[in-house]
Structure 1
Amino acid sequence: MEDTELIHEAVDVDAAVLALARRYEAASNLGVQVLNVLNWPAESLLERLPENARAKLETATVRGLEAAMSAASGSRSLIRDQKPWVNTATATMVGVVGGLGGLTTALAELPVTVTMLMRGVQAVAAEHGFDPDEDQTRKDALLVFAAAGPMVQGKSPDLTFLSSRMTLTGVNVYVGIGLIAPRLALVLGRKLAAQTIPVIGAATAAATNFSYASYYQEMANVVFGLRKLSESTGTPFAELVELLAAKLED
């Protein structure tokens, strides 16, 4: 009987990880479509940013994450969590406003966008049964933002961000923000650069914010899906990440 139960558990884990792998694979599709429309390779987007903007990007990202962590958490007590499409639509509208004035308004819009993205991630955490105000959940929310971002083409699945979960163990949230910010700064730099393209800035901003909101909500489902699966089955998180990598290579 015990052997049969273990077999069923293994099948359930395998199927659950396969479903998460499919979400991971689908997450970046919209971002790649935006790149295709712009006809700009992701690697060259950062080169479009003025040097002074690039120099300020990491600092702005740290401040944005700190504000987002506080504001997104605080807003949950005033405004209940919304459906994923509502969070995506709101982030898209913020992008439209941010794209109207080019780089100046895009930089000003950045903390607002990060806050909206964080709200979406927290809502996914709550859907999986985790309290967004708990310390571990806040760290896992940060982990989502260590992902490569939606506007990446032609690269193998990068699961190194999931190993950052161990790095975040034992540190407070604000130290964690400092660890995650450099990676997120590169991701947001691509977004800002896309918004500076003349004429279609507002439209591009809307499209990029839509793809970013969709992407991070899907990645949140992967992160919190793995965490829930780890807790419910007793399978170590690292082992589930290895299984996820194997599914993505199939």
Structure 2
Amino acid sequence: MKFTANDLLILHQAADVLENPSFSSRVTKTVGGAVEKTIAILPAQVSLSLNDITRTALEKSLEGAIFTLNSRKSSIPFNKTHKFFAGLSGAIGGAFGLTAITIELPISTTIMLRSIADIARFYGENLSHSNTKMACLEVFALSDTTRHGSETGYYAIRSILAKGLTDASTQLGKPALTKEGASIVNKALNQIAARFSIPVSEKIAAQSIPVLGAIGGATINFLFISYFQDLAHAHFSLRRLERNYTPELVKLNYQKHLAELPLLVR
């Protein structure tokens, strides 16, 4: 089956989003300064507990963000509404500094996951399916695909996460979650949290810059949710193409597009 010109354009645009600049580069362009340098001087207790913080944020946001949305396909995702509320939670976090991160991050993550689910629904995903719920969480693991050594690229990360997400979605699809099932879901959440903690550390670093305060916190969160909304649009547009064609054909054309890009662009 051959791609239509429009579908091929959608695939190329998705690839360009998923394989290009990280969240930190967006922040640096907007507020100035190298975010990576600020990460290096974050308080030790924050750095050490970052995985736990992000994992807890993902866990708390899962049911509240997705199960309250109607599974019916929507016409347009409410991106601006979700950006407003994410900015508001960022303003609160920015006003109180690092001490508020354990409260602010679960709130902003829930807002972002709800937005991601809204985008998934727009692309024809059924939110009542456990597979879709895990695909929404998967978006948090897709940031900055260039940082993981041999584990580079969108499809490489999806491949690494595939078994864990499939096992977790199977457990979530059962009438009741057993102790063993909960352990399987927790393992998948840990995999996602390990990757999500990278942009979270960049977000915390940017928000910890003293001169930014509440306004800066709102700006950072606005950039944060915008970044993940872009990833979600790319991710779920590819999943829709995979349903319309085949996953193998989509992946082949995706990799062909990357191979044709100049090295400087990639």
> TM-score, length-normalised on structure 2?
0.77
Q: Which amino acid aligns with 1:245?
A: L
Shift, 1:104, TM fit: 0.7
Other-structure match for 2:176:
none
| Count of aligned residue pairs for this structure pair | 236
Q: After alignment, is 33-42 or 90-99 more displaced? A: 33-42
Determine if the alignment matches structure 1 residue 142 to structure 2 residue 137.
Answer: yes
Aligned to 2:88: 93
Residue 223 of structure 2 corresponds to residue 230 of structure 1: no
Q: CA RMSD in A?
A: 2.8
- In terms of mean alpha carbon deviation, does 166-175 or 138-147 score higher? 166-175
- Following superposition of structure 1 onto structure 2, how do residues 135-174 of structure 1 map, counting pairs within 5 Å? 135-148=130-143, 158-159=153-154, 160-173=156-169, 174=185
Aligned pair partner of 1:58 in 37, 42, 51: 51
CA distance in 1, matches of 2:118, 2:61: 14
Contact 2:77/2:119 (8 A) holds in 1: no
- Segments of 5+ residues of structure 2 without an aligned counterpart are 170-184
Pairwise CA distance, 1:10: 5.4
Report the CA distance between 1:188 and its aligned residue. Answer: 0.5
Deviations 1:91-134 (A, max 9, x none): 11110011101101233201001101101100000000101231
Deviations 1:23-80 (A, max 9, x none): 447885x863431354332322321310011111111111110111111023325xx9
Deviation at 1:13, TM superposition (A): 4.0
Question: CA contact under 8 A between 1:120 and 1:217: conserved in structure 2?
Answer: yes
Partner of 2:222: 210
Indicate which of 106, 110, 117 corresponds to 2:112.
Answer: 117
**Structure 1 unaligned spans of 5+:** 1-5
1:235–1:12 Cα change, 3 Å? farther
CA 1:235–1:71: 2 relative to 1, 3 Å: closer
More displaced, 239-248 or 125-134?
239-248
CA distance in 1, matches of 2:11, 2:47: 37
Partner SS, residue 91 of structure 1:
helix
1:36 maps to a residue whose letter is K
Deviation at 1:206, TM superposition (A): 1.0
SS at match of 1:100: helix
1-structure distance, mates of 2:120, 2:260:
23
- The match for 1:3 is none
Percent identity, please.
Answer: 24
Greater shift after overlay, 219-228 or 162-171?
162-171
Return closer, same or farther for 1:147/1:45 CA change in 2, 3 Å cut-off: farther
Further displaced range: 119-128 or 46-55: 46-55
Deviations 1:129-151 (A, max 9, x none): 1012312112211221112259x
Q: Output the CA distance in 2 between the equivalents of 1:247 and 1:213.
A: 30
**TM-score where L is the length of structure 1:** 0.82
